Amino acid sequence: MTAQITAPPTPTTPSRRRWAGLAVLAASLLVVVMDMTVLNVALPDLIADLKPGAVSQLWIVDAYPVVLAGLLVPVSSLADRWGRRRMLLAGFTVFGLASALVLLADSPSQVIALRAALGVGGAMIMPTTLSLIRTLFPDPVERATALGIWAATASLGSAVGPILGGALLEMFSWHSAFLVNVPLMVVAVIAGLVLLPESRSDRPGRLDAVGVVLSVGGMVAIVYAVKQLGKDGFEPLPLGILAVGLVAMAAFAHRCLTQSEPMLAVDLFGNRVFRSGVITAIAHSGVTMALLLVGSQWLQLVQGWSPLKAGAALLPMALGGMIGSPFAPALAARIGVRTVLVTGLLTTATGLGVIAVLPHPMPYPGIAVALLCNGLGGAALGVGSALMMGSAPAHQAGSAAAIEEMSFEVGAVLGVSVLGSLAGIVYRSGLPGGVDDVVSESVAGALGTASEKAATASFVDAFATVGLAGAIAVALTAAVVWWWVPGDLDLADAHH
């Protein structure tokens, strides 16, 4: 069955205002994505100042993504009813206020609370940006271009976060990693009021209290458990939490499938094109976050570069995204949507494969090529986003946006946990016997000790293994996408 995605004869928003509105949405996404990575650079100074324990350190990092992932579904459903622009502006306000309150934070628990509040704001911002792009750009080809810019912005935010963090830390304290958000959110609120139209679903999903408990509890449990399994291995407690989370999400999915107007349109997964967009987002997000995590450690701990220099060394990833994303829709019109999606994934896999075959010690130019390939491959995500948003009926735009954002979040968690754990296993297996626990815990603990040479060499092996595993995973995803997506698929079509 082929359903044509039609646009109104005359867009409701003038052309210049549409693109100016996109700039507001992209800039707000940039801030939210940067906040996921900027803390990685600021964390050492924060730890030195507040001296949090091991558990507190974990929650300072994890509170933001765990809360954000858990709230995506109910917040998107509420935005469909309450108003997507209204939800977005409220998210800007929450994000800005939480960032400003860091000036009053003088304990680890207060920083954790602020990170959780930022997660609430992020959950209000991220899916509504996608829903509003659907409203601003009813034409499928224009929408694909807009979503390509959106995808490039996400890549830019991931790469700019460490650079911004490094630059701020050279001049200010760790508080600046939070405070930089405040003026940006003030500008975003003003620009949003002027440039963005209000948008609601004409058939909003029901506000289901049981569904909220199941979806929030399930997503939080899954994200938290996967993170714990990645850090501590297959311990009974995180395995139990994971099982509870999976059961809760299964119950939530069943509940949605049996309701006429569910909180989340789970039946969208019946569309192969939609599923292809989901697995593409999961795969690319996963390897990107793993590459940023392990690559940043390699640059700072093995190469010995400063945080600012290491952050700048990650820029080829953002460059690839900015080069490729605006051209992906036009390329899809020429060579086909399936070809663009699969080529993007294979380009990403090629870059990861380069890491696997680089000589040891690894030369930075080879890593730069891998980062560039990752950015270029991510350019296809805009086309995938256009297909996901276009294959969903207009009244289910909020559900489609929530699922897409969950795909990125789940991919990031899996990438860091699975590939990060793999890096840890390979690193520890390459160490000589009898090393101190601090050395076996991380390569940072080996610096300046007799084990430094062996530890850094073992970490390079771990980096190469992550490259190989990531390349295989993304190549397999490309094969599935080739199978699921019809060869004659057009950006204006959705195949069920």
Please tell me the predicted confidence (pLDDT) of residue 279: 92
CB 415 within 8 A of CB 230: no
Per-residue model confidence (pLDDT) at position 8 = 38
Could you tell me if 117 and 98 are in contact, meaning their C-beta atoms sit under 8 angstroms apart?
yes
Tell which residue, 310, 31, 41, has the closest CA to residue 180: 31
Give pLDDT, residue 475.
97
What are the C-alpha distances in Å from 235 to residues 352, 410, 461? 30, 20, 26
For the chain, give the number of residues. 496
Residue 57 is which amino acid?
Q
DSSP 143-159: HHHHHHHHHHHHHHHHH
Tell me how far CA of residue 1 lies from CA of 116, 271, 337, in angstroms: 43, 10, 18
- Tell me the longest C-alpha to C-alpha distance in the chain: 73
List residues bridging with 363 in a β-sheet. Answer: none
Whether the full predicted model's pTM is greater than 0.75, yes or no, is yes
DSSP-assigned letter for residue 205: P
Distance of alpha carbon 100 from alpha carbon 175, whole angstroms:
9
pLDDT one digit per residue (tens) for the chain, 496 residues: 333 333 333 345 567 788 888 888 888 888 877 776 677 667 777 877 888 876 677 678 778 877 887 888 888 888 888 888 999 999 999 999 999 998 888 888 899 999 999 989 988 988 888 888 877 887 777 877 787 777 777 767 776 777 777 777 777 788 888 888 899 899 989 988 988 888 777 666 667 788 888 988 888 888 788 777 766 677 888 899 999 999 999 999 899 888 877 888 888 888 888 888 889 989 998 898 889 888 888 988 889 888 778 878 888 988 888 787 777 777 887 888 899 899 999 999 999 999 999 998 899 999 999 999 998 888 777 777 777 777 777 677 777 878 888 888 788 878 877 888 888 888 888 888 777 777 777 777 777 787 888 888 999 999 999 999 999 999 999 999 999 988 887 766 543 4
- Asked whether the beta carbons of 150 and 25 are under 8 A apart, the reply is yes
Strand 2-4 to 493-495 pairing: antiparallel
Q: What per-residue confidence (pLDDT) applies to 40?
A: 65
Where is 493: in which H helix or E strand? strand 493-495
Q: What DSSP letter does each residue of 26-74 carry, written as one string?
A: HHHHHHHHHHHHHHHHHHHHHHHHH---HHHHHHHHHHHHHHHHHHHHH
